[in-house]
């Protein structure tokens, strides 16, 4: 490209380019094409809008599909900023140093490809991953594990592939002061699940809860792409890969334990509680105790290090609705009191407490309060055993034990209940934990910096409902069926076991009347609970 301009025209072009980055980029910047080599950078409408956003907003967060040329347009913007402004300090960061270095390389190549008359400032110091102009402007690349830029004032911070940077929450705390005096930030990435810094910043930007300007760039914004192109590109990709690379879908892109489609289904049920009560207003109630309904309360007790919460769910067994929920940080004594009160409020329902760590202390206090319906289990097998039986057993323990054996079982049961749409969750708190409950090296756990207390409490609830309560209900039905048969047929009880009630050497047997059966039911009412 040749330019034959007078001095006056050159001055006008420089002034116009300095005021308008879109004009400068479209007229003077060149990019490398894989087939045609260096070609003029002709921006698309969405790229021009992006440049305008960079000028209008200090903080921009870009949720993008891949292959949209966003890194290239960011590089062009940096060229314009450094060239037409003195003493600009630009830092490019990415989880991999090579990713950040490639963007700096693009800036350098674009700078050197400018016509001579536009290069009003030239490269003075040139290193492999950084360079400095004669006007004092400079740029450098750094990985997120490095210390570059943490102690200096930045004019522009670029966070490339920000959703894939582990621990960016902590990193941002150190980086923000470097741009707090007027610096700018561009955070760009494809999605990588929910709960990470990028997702949080973008979601809060959309709701107006932070200073970032949200920008979403779907694949179909590109004028050269149609449905045929999309189908060809995604033919051999998984659903999760498509969501991450092209659809800008946070939920489907992550490696969550609960399938993204099921998470989306859960979100349709989330509503505000009817009451927020308790000493800390963290006891949320959607439905009060209903006469004739059965409930179970499942609690997970905080370790005591301040990092997690003591929580519980109350589930209506007939409909499997989570009708009440607590999440807070009370003392052990206070939490036991809260559990005792909530359990009695819901008809002396069974209370299941996870007995690891300080859970035993809460259980002891519950028993001291004479709570009548505490879940017990066998030490070796973790099987449920009724409280009145457990009291006479040496190998029983109060509460539910989460171990290497039981944890995958209860998580699988939770996933099964949600997948089959058997349980209804109203809580936004539980919803957020489910969104950040991921597979980490094959283990289901909370994403770094998040909690899974509510998730695990709910998982135990699903397991208990499908084991202890199903078994108990089955036993009750057997007992009721046997008694009903006796009543209907006026059956005589006989036993051939010497020493047992009903044993007689002759064949004369007592008849059990309906009245006597009712008396037995009242005497041994615990057998017929539920």
Domain count of the fold of the chain? 3
Residue 278 lies in a domain: yes
CA dist., res. 10 & res. 3, Å (int): 10
Q: Where are the beta strands (DSSP E) in 144-211?
A: 156-160, 184-189
Residue 481 lies in a domain: no
pLDDT of amino acid 251 = 65
DSSP 52-64: HHHHH-SEEEEEE
Is 280 found in the same domain as 226? no
Is 457 found in the same domain as 511? no
pLDDT of amino acid 192 = 84
Is 419 found in the same domain as 358? yes
Is 337 found in the same domain as 279? yes
CATH number of the domain that residue 77 is part of: 3.40.50.300
Residue 494 lies in a domain: yes
Is 220 found in the same domain as 287? no
Is 280 found in the same domain as 201? no
Check if the beta carbon of residue 331 is closer than 8 Å to that of residue 491.
no
Out of 254, 284, 306, a domain closes at 254
Is 314 found in the same domain as 236? no
Residue 149 lies in a domain: yes
DSSP 359-376: HHHHHHHHHHTT-S-B-E
CA dist., res. 530 & res. 518, Å (int): 16
Is 448 found in the same domain as 366? yes
Count of residues in the chain: 530
Is 311 found in the same domain as 459? yes
Give the rounded percent of residues in the chain with a pLDDT score beyond 70.
84
Mean pLDDT split into 10-residue runs, the chain, 530 residues? 76 92 93 77 93 95 92 95 95 91 93 89 88 95 72 89 87 90 93 83 89 94 90 84 81 76 91 94 97 95 80 95 96 95 96 89 93 86 73 79 86 92 96 87 80 94 83 48 50 43 43 57 46
Residue 480 lies in a domain: no
How far CA 437 is from CA of 195, 240, 254, 323, 431, in Å, comes to 9, 16, 10, 22, 10
Residue 1 lies in a domain: no
Is 97 found in the same domain as 64? yes
CATH number of the domain that residue 328 is part of: 3.30.420.240
- Which are the contacts of 367, defined by CB distance < 8 A and separation ≥ 6? 374, 398
Residue 436 lies in a domain: yes
pLDDT of amino acid 16 = 93
Is 352 found in the same domain as 324? yes
Which residue's entry shows tokens 């995604």?
Answer: 234
Is 112 found in the same domain as 82? yes
How far CA 139 is from CA of 60, 90, 156, in Å, comes to 19, 5, 9
Q: Which domain holds residue 77?
A: 7-254
- Name the burial class of residue 450, with classes exposed (0-12), middle (13-18) and buried (19+) by CB atoms within 10 angstroms of its CB: middle
Residue 483 lies in a domain: no
């Amino acid at each position: 490209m040749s330019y034959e301009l007078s001095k006056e025209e050159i001055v006008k072009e420089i002034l116009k380019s300095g005021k308008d980055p879109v004009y400068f980029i479209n007229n003077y910047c060149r990019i490398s094409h894989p087939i045609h080599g260096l070609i003029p950078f002709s921006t698309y409408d969405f790229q021009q809008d992006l440049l305008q956003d960079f000028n209008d907003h200090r903080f921009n967060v870009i949720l993008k599909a891949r292959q949209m040329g966003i890194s290239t347009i960011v590089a062009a913007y940096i060229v314009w900023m450094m060239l037409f402004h003195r003493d600009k300090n630009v830092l490019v960061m990415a989880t991999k140093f090579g990713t950040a270095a490639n963007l700096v390389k693009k800036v350098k190549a674009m700078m050197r490809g400018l016509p001579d008359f536009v290069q009003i400032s030239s490269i003075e110091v040139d290193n492999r991953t950084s360079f400095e102009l004669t006007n004092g402007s400079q740029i450098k690349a750094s990985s997120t594990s490095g210390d570059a830029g943490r102690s200096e004032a930045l004019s522009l911070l670029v966070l490339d592939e920000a959703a894939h940077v582990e621990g960016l929450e902590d990193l941002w705390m150190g980086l923000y002061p470097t741009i707090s005096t007027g610096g700018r930030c561009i955070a760009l990435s494809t999605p990588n699940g929910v709960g990470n810094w990028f997702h949080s910043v973008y979601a809060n930007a959309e709701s107006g809860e932070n200073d970032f300007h949200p920008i979403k760039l779907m694949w179909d914004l590109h004028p050269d792409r149609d449905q045929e192109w999309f189908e060809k590109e995604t033919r051999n990709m998984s659903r999760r890969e498509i969501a991450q690379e092209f659809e800008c879908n946070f939920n489907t892109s992550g490696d969550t334990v609960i399938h993204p489609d099921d998470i989306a289904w859960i979100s349709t049920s989330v509503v505000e509680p009817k009451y927020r009560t308790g000493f800390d207003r963290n006891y949320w109630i959607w439905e009060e105790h209903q006469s004739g309904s059965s409930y179970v309360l499942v609690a997970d007790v905080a370790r005591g290090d301040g990092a997690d919460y003591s929580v519980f769910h109350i589930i209506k067994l007939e409909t499997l609705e989570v009708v009440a929920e607590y999440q807070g940080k009370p003392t052990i004594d206070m939490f036991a009191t809260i559990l005792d009160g909530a359990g009695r409020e819901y008809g002396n329902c069974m209370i299941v407490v996870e007995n690891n760590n300080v859970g035993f202390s809460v259980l002891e206090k519950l028993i001291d309060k004479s709570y009548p319906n505490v879940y017990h289990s066998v030490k070796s097998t973790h099987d449920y055993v009724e409280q009145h039986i457990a009291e006479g057993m040496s190998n029983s323990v109060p509460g539910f034990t989460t171990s290497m054996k039981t944890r995958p079982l209860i998580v699988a049961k939770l996933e099964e209940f949600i997948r089959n749409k058997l349980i209804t969750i109203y809580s936004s708190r539980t919803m957020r934990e489910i969104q950040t409950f991921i597979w980490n090296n094959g283990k289901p756990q909370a994403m770094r910096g998040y909690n899974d207390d509510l998730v695990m409490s709910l998982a135990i609830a699903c397991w208990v409902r499908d084991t202890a309560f199903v078994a108990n209900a089955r036993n009750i039905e057997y007992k009721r069926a046997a008694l009903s048969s006796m009543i209907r047929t006026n059956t005589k009880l006989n036993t051939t076991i010497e020493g047992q009630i009903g044993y007689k050497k002759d064949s004369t047997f007592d008849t059990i009347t309906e009245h006597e059966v009712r008396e037995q039911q009242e005497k041994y009412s615990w057998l017929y609970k539920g």
